[in-house]
Structure 1
Amino acid sequence: MTFRRLISDRAFESGDEHEFGVVSPDARGESAPFFGILLLDWRVGELLAVYWLEIGTALLGYSVAALFAQLPIVLDGRSFYLPGTGPDVERHEKWEREPAPVEVPGPLPPIYPRNIRLVLTLLIAGCFILGFFLFASPDILKSLRSPSIALTAVGMILSDWYRLYREFFREKQYEEMSAYMVLEIPGRFLVFAASYVVLLSTVGMLTLASFLMITQTEFARLGFEFEQLVAGAMVLGKIAVEWSQFRAENEEDPTGFATWFRPDNPRE
């Protein structure tokens, strides 16, 4: 997936939207699956493999970045809660104490051990969701053996990781963010991905079946294969996410689907 710009917690307090930055949708990265469908005859399994690997590495990248986030978390005033947290959950007393950062060798900033528990909790939940997709479609790993699919996935991942490095480490946004704020980004995407696949595989199929029954039309007469329909819906859903994230970042008051990808203002 295309990484959003990591939005500063302090920018929320000040109301300075210029600190949010402007990131356009990654047209080159998202066009690769289209070329795969049109030129390489990719099917649902191939698309699942690319997106599955991209989401998994995104989760890993954000989890590593969250270890360096300096600000304490705040749970009050949120509409989205990560696993292990909630509106009735009290913050651990460690967040009230002064942090004890651990220096690491090289140019990297210090790690904050108090973030580890939250990171591990999200990693476990994320691995469970990704594992479910792998269980439901075991051909994902076989598809990754294809050179074209592997190269596409690696290219998208490297682009995403470079963007994360540039915006989080080089611009020192770790000084202005909490671990919760960092992990909220892949958390929201995972929830959407799981919900979208469930809706696509249930509501979409029921709608298509109802249409065929009402119109008394055979599926073969529609002029396309079922796998092509599902693959197209997956790519369109991914593009909708990218565009909604772009709107959430750059519109002062986004509406509709884009509001899901706009981080909460917990007044940290």
Structure 2
Amino acid sequence: MPEVVSWFFPWLIVTLVLSVGIFVQAAAGFAAGMLVIPTLLWLGYLIPEASMALLVATIPQNIAGVYALRESIRPKTLLWPGIGRVGFFPLGILALIAIEEAFPLVRIRQFVGGVVLAATIATAVYHPVPKAKLSPIWAWIAFPISGFLQGLVGMGGPAMVFWVSAHDWNTRQIRGFLFAMYLTSLAPAIVMLFAFFGDRLVTPALNACASIPILLLVTSLGLKFGNWLGRNRLRRVTLGLLFLMGVLGLASPWIRSG
């Protein structure tokens, strides 16, 4: 019985946090990582554990998204962005290892808060004029940055969202591309995290696996809620919440000392 209790409460906490992130992702179309990673850090987890939990939790959502939008996905658009993203992921992990060795958790929270705040402000103010075709240089900037940040802080989505927002694609093409890009990089990301951090990631991965039935229900509810509230209003609420998360992260040393 004590063993069951000692497993249940950590699982419940991770499930609740993942549920919030997946719900917002399904409803608003973004922000799962920017909500889940800093929240788990506040609860005492480190970035590799939080990243692993999030990656495993998003597997069903990405598979379902790719299947539902398969007719809108153009495979040739995935090749070089995928290579750029996956290729820079281990560099982000190496930077993360250096940060973990050099700084305490409270400073890591502060760093992640700064990343969340910067990404939130950029998302709020960046409104590109969509074009039929972008210079390839922008892909070679956006996707290596995405892969590096995915390895470093578990949040590689914003750079990809900025890139697709600059295209004159319809909503199904944009969402199909993002789902496919997440899905194609999931397995390499999970393998590399285990290669670098080993057994410490087994428990968060198993907790996330055990949460998947609940997360599937949360995804369905999030889609319905987003349709009911409207994406523009939900986007404003989500950005406000992310802004608060970023500020709290930056202020964490003083909150802790207080």
TM-score interval (norm. to shorter): 0.3 to 0.5
In our comparison, the structure showing a higher alpha carbon Rg is: 1
More helix by share: 2
What TM-score comes out, normalization by structure 1 length?
Answer: 0.32
What TM-score comes out, normalization by structure 2 length?
Answer: 0.33
